[in-house]
Amino acid sequence: MATEEVDPRFADLDAWSLASAMDAMWEGQLAAVAAIGHALPAITAATQAAQEALSDRGRLIYAGAGTSARVAVQDGAELTPTFAWPRERVRFIIAGGESAFTTSVEGAEDDVADAAKQVDAAELSPHDVVIAVSASGTTPFTVAALQQAGRHRAVTIGVANNPATALLTSANYPVLVETGRELIAGSTRMKAGTAQKVVLNLISTGIMLRLGRVYRGMMVNMQSTNAKLKLRAERMVARIAGCGEGEAAQALEKVDGDIKMAALVVLGYDGAEAASILASHKGNLRRVFADLAEGRGG
């Protein structure tokens, strides 16, 4: 597999000047990101399928081992603070469990029985989406987790950096990003890891776009958990509703910091009316304003 092979060009990387080594590593990062371009149709198809399956009750579940698992956890952990994605709707199936987030757990990536056990414990349904990530595409734990998820009829997405591998052939939606040989053989935290992070960013953000958790480039489902974010929320409401930040702040106070509801309160609706309108449009503010403009309201 390419990700495990020594690249002759970099066989003496440790003997290079630090400036030259840094330049080579930077070049590798650029190449990893560029490789994603060929996978965009597959990434788009996976994102569309995930959004349709999730609706208002499905879960996003990430599966992986080692570096790939830690990249996946980073992506999933950011969904709640960024998009207010419910914590109960994101889950991780990780080789070695939570202890593997910071420590290598010997033999965990080969434990296919544990993979099946974790998947079964998740009680998957067709509304759930499992994103399995493996640089090699052959990691036994990750492949087994994805295959077991498929038996539960969950939507399965496989992200790998080597072609024609078990993870890709087992996934409903395979995403191949061929990053090739690493500058340090087998160190997939480099090129493969970078590509995986970008792919997961694209998929998760694309899902949130289609589910109405972004409006006019703003994170309108964001949780205002500190002073900086409260100020950002006030600016969002002011921009959406065309009011001053003081009025926006007052509206946010009335609706416990809910940005979308606050915008509607500024426009003259009370809290109950705002909640009803948003519910009837599944929280999609663009659809709300489209209907209001046509006089259909809530």
* Active-site annotation, residues: 78, 109
The phi and psi torsions of 175 (rounded to 5 degrees) equal -125, 110
Contact 233, 298 (CB under 8 A): no
Buried (b) or exposed (e) across 68-98, using 16+ Cβ within 10 A? Answer: bbbbbbebbebbbebbbbeeebbbbbbbbee
Q: How buried is residue 142: exposed, middle or buried, by Cβ count under 10 Å (0-12/13-18/19+)? A: buried
> Which tokens hold the place of 277?
């309108």
Tokens found for residue 134 = 């493996």
Decide: 160 and 71 in contact? Cβ < 8 Å: no
Pairing label, strands 155-160, 60-64: unpaired
Give the per-residue SS3 of 105-160: CCCHHHCHHHHHHHHHHCCCCCCCEEEEEECCCCCHHHHHHHHHHHHCCCEEEEEE
The answer to whether 159 touches 199, Cβ cutoff 8 Å, is: yes
> How far are the Cα atoms of 15, 96, 210 from residue 286, in angstroms, in the given order?
56, 42, 11
